[in-house]
Structure 1
Amino acid sequence: METEDKLLMLRCSVKNYDWGRLAGDSQVARLFSLNSGSEPEPDKPYAEFWMGTHDSGPSFLLSGDENMTLKSWLSKNPNALGEKVLGKWGCDLPFLFKVLSVAKALSIQAHPDKELARTLHKLYPDLYKDGNHKPEMALAMTEFEALCGFISLEELKVVIRTVPEVMELVGFGDALPIFGLTDQDNEETIKRELAAVFTRLMFADKKEVTESVGRLISRLIKESQVRELTDKEKLALRLEKQYPSDIGVIAAFLLNYMKLNPGEALSLGPNEPHAYISGECIECMATSDNVVRAGLTPKHRDVQTLCSMLTYKQGPPEILRGIPINSHVTRYLPPFDEFEIDRCVVPQGESVTFPAVPGPSIFLVVDGEAIIKVGGSLRVYIAAEGDVILAAANTVVCISEASDLILYRAGVNGEFFEASEA
């Protein structure tokens, strides 16, 4: 592979989902505009900026044949992936890199594991576009809110006692067994009872849901005049404005409400319920677009599949704060082979080197600029905001003469390479 092929500038895709932020308030719109050279439409929501090879939002080469997708280029240049990546995932990137700008809540959703993904893709290819699993990680760029995983058993008891609308929809018969459980009980028994409560809630009659949500909102507005509402209650009021009469407004009480600060991350495995609420984040996942939805969405809902696929693990997820690699780079390692994320901040005039790794990397510049080059090469690139660069496997990437640079790198999880050498 020629030295100039070891760094490829990419033109990437954008998604204008209705939950995205309007152009003037969206990192996605700003980065897409800088990356593509096109003006964003001011009244349009800009939700996701995709960097990778997924057919639903491909990246293209900026030099040479600009109609060539990154996926096509990799099929002709498989050495760019590295031997180990090629051996496990074939002639494709195993990860999809994104920026998200969230103005209103995404759906209550989960992503299927590999076995279920293959089944869903075979049965419903129009709804489930591929047969891959989709573990993912969200790294906050701003304060970022999300619902993620089920609350603990003790919290669930409090919710059933203090949120009468949950009991109304679940019914006494399904709710009562929860109070007989303790943390010492068999884990599978607890999961079974939680599954019964959640499933009954999600399958509640639409008319009853509309009435219960209405009662909930009226009650909270009235009570807010005499007491401070909890964070979850305030969230319910916000969600109802975005999705009136939606079961997700009440289901949110059963999920952990997380607030991430910039630089904090959540790792989300297959079959775990979650919903992003607000903020902007860097996201990375296995190369897939499979989503099973059941609330807070105008899109197709597959309640039966969602309720049957969940793990029903309880308790808040771990917040990842990253591991310092050097004075400029922090690494976020999820428990998945397909990806890791580096956050790199290089002050004025300073330099940083990314050592060669056995797999490909994608670099995204979100702020500032710098000179970037392959180690040992004389050819240099000026990397600026909105630039997206693929670095081939086994490439040393040198960044110098930074002007308050902030960039993110996605690559195959380093622990995958260590494990394959063991």
Structure 2
Amino acid sequence: MRPYAWGSRTAIADLLGRPVPTPHPEAELWMGAHPGDPSMLVRHDGTEESLLALLDADPAHHLGAGCNDRWGGRLPFLFKVLAADEPLSLQAHPSVEQAAEGFAREEAAGIPRNAANRNYPDPTAKPELICALTEFHALAGFREACRTVRLLDALDVPSLRAHRGLLAAQPDADGLRALFTTWITLPEHYLRDVTPELLDACVEHVRERGEFALECRTVLELGEAYPNDAGVLASLLLNRLVLQPGEAIFLPAGNLHAYLHGTGVEILANSDNILRCGLTPKHVDVPELLRVLDFACGDMRILKGESLDANLTVYKTPAEEFELSRVDWTLADSGGVLLDSAGPQIVLCTKGRVHLSTVDGSRSVELERGESVWLAASDEAAVARPATLDADGAAQVFRAAAGVV
């Protein structure tokens, strides 16, 4: 459990069946083998063992030969429940090449991996996907540049007119790079002057129920929480999204984003590499951020998943490290679903009660809401591990699996 300040006092505790509200915010429930917080596996006899220790002892058994060879004995994904009552930092993640180069550079410079100014604590990329469990609000990807010009026209902030002209003269990725670079490097005294003008303009736009009322409410919320932060200006350039339960977004390398509010399941590459832009007291490395950002602009694609049968939905992405799928049952439909992937998997129950059993029925385990199970990729996977899911009426599970090797 990660107790970050932006977390919720109710969402994760309610999922796990614990009393609410909790004494402190609970932001992320991790499931996986990340060295910072590996999952503990509870055996049938009640004994516990770290998943990380099990992988270290016998990676081929738990990961399978293909996954073990491809990822060097590491579980390539991390699975989370994320619950945000307040905005996360505005951030982006590097590509494979950028992460490897940045890690080598910081290692050579002797920067401790846990240092506050460390950008690359590991040499791997960090693509991620978030799927909403509740209505989920986010900023993600640069909005189409001409629409941002319209937003700046609607607000007509005197101090930003020249900046608006900069983008209007070049309404493309290069223009966005120029404007973003200008804003993120503004001196603090300029931000102190422009922020009140921007907030006043946003208040007026909301009162008038203008086209960009949702974006303006977001600016007002961020401006109150992070006064005179360049990230508040940067948020004006991004797509403002509202995901309904079951909808998801995939965030590739270079995508600037911030989760604002809501609860979701998140699957990501097993990495800690984050380049922050603002909305945080943590380290912001502007030159390195600009090196990794992708300024391509346009609508952010919302994924509804690909239905493989009446119960099973898969969220397809380009990520090699992971694949997320969802299984739903209604009161009238509790049929079995075969887990046909031979790779390592984590299954999380988010609604109702489900049963996992081997194909031959010799072994089974029951999962209540909030419980999860680790499925190792043993050589006898087809018959020796739980491979079929069924439910007692209305239920839902999410399955995290390694990508295709």
TM-score (norm 2): 0.88
Equivalence map 1:267-346=2 (5 Å):
267-346=250-329
Larger mean CA deviation between 278-287 and 362-371 belongs to 362-371
Task: Give matches, 1:247-262, under 5 Å.
Answer: 247-262=230-245
Q: State whether structure 2 residue 93 is matched by structure 1 residue 103.
A: no
> Distance in 2 between the 1:268 and 1:342 partners?
17
2:140 aligned with 1:148: yes
Deviates more, 1:57-66 or 1:205-214: 57-66
Partner of 2:222: 239
Report how far residue 264 of structure 1 moved. 0.8
SS in 2 for 1:21: coil
Contact persistence 1:351–1:402 (CA under 8 A): no
| Partner-residue secondary structure (3-state), 2:189 | helix
Residue equivalent to 1:137:
129
Question: 1:354: which partner in 2?
Answer: 338
Aligned to 1:70: 51
Match of 2:245, SS state, is coil
**Equivalents in 2 of 1:40, 1:303: separation in Å?**
39
- Aligned-partner residue type, residue 304 of structure 2: R
Describe the SS at the equivalent of 2:352.
strand
> What are the residue-to-residue correspondences of 1:20-419 with 2, within 5 Å?
20-22=7-9, 25-26=10-11, 28-31=12-15, 33=16, 42-63=22-43, 66=47, 68-77=49-58, 78-122=60-104, 123=106, 124=111, 125-126=113-114, 127=118, 128-165=120-157, 168=159, 172=162, 176-181=165-170, 190-222=172-204, 224-228=206-210, 230-348=213-331, 350-393=334-377, 394-395=381-382, 397-413=387-403, 416-417=404-405
| CA-based RMSD | 2.3
Kept after mapping to 1: 8 A contact 2:89/2:278: yes
| Farther-moved stretch of structure 1 (277-286 vs 127-136) | 127-136
CA distance in 2, matches of 1:339, 1:116: 20
CA distance in 2, matches of 1:284, 1:226: 39
5+ residue gaps, structure 2: none
Structure 1 residues 284 and 318, CA, compared in 2 at 3 Å: closer, same or farther?
Answer: same
CA distance in 2, matches of 1:69, 1:90: 19
Deviation at 1:222, TM superposition (A): 4.5
CA contact (8 A) 1:84 1:358 kept: no
Aligned-residue offset at 1:96: 0.6
Q: Mean Cα displacement is larger for which, 210-219 or 325-334?
A: 210-219
Report if the CA contact (8 A) 1:96-1:287 is conserved.
yes
SS across alignment from 1:139? strand
In structure 2, distance between residues paired with 1:226 and 1:264:
30
Q: Matched residues in 2 for 1:118 and 1:217: separation?
A: 40
In 1, are the aligned partners of 2:131 and 2:248 still within 8 Å (CA)?
A: yes
Name the amino acid aligned to 1:178: L
CA 1:326 to 1:225, structure 2 compared with 1: closer, same or farther past 3 Å? Answer: closer
Q: Residues 13-37 of structure 1, C-alpha deviation per residue, up to 9 Å, x if partnerless?
A: x111111111xx21x2334x45xxx
CA contact (8 A) 2:127 2:251 kept: yes
Distance 1:401 1:266 in 2: 27
SS in 2 for 1:293: strand
Q: 2: CA distance between counterparts of 1:282 and 1:372?
A: 20
Letter of the 1:29 counterpart: A
Aligned to 1:49, the other structure's residue is in SS state strand
Instruction: Give the ranges of 4+ consecutive aligned residues of structure 1 lying more than 4 Å apart after TM superposition.
Output: 38-41, 64-67, 222-229
144-153 or 212-221, which moves further after superposition? 212-221
Return 78-87 or 347-356, whichever deviates more: 347-356
Q: State whether residues 357 and 389 of structure 2, in contact with CA within 8 Å, keep that contact through their aligned partners in structure 1.
A: yes
> Aligned pair in 2 of structure 1 residues 401, 319: CA closer, same or farther (>3 Å)?
closer
CA distance in 1, matches of 2:225, 2:338: 43
Which amino acid counterpart does residue 334 of structure 1 have in structure 2? T
Name whichever of 296-305 and 331-340 sits farther off. 296-305
SS of the residue 1:133 aligns to: coil
Contact 1:347 1:402 in 2 (8 A): no
Count of residues in Structure 1 that have an aligned counterpart in Structure 2: 385
Structure 2: distance between partners of 1:352 and 1:300: 48
Q: Which amino acid in structure 2 is aligned with residue 80 of structure 1?
A: H
Of 131-140 and 379-388, more deviation after overlay is shown by 379-388
For the residues of structure 1 that align with 2:340 and 2:357, how far apart are their CA atoms?
13
Q: Which amino acid aligns with 2:167?
A: I
1:319 partner SS: coil
CA apart distance, 1:225? 4.5
SS in 2 for 1:314: coil
Cα distance change, pair 244–43 in 1 and its aligned pair in 2 (3 A): farther
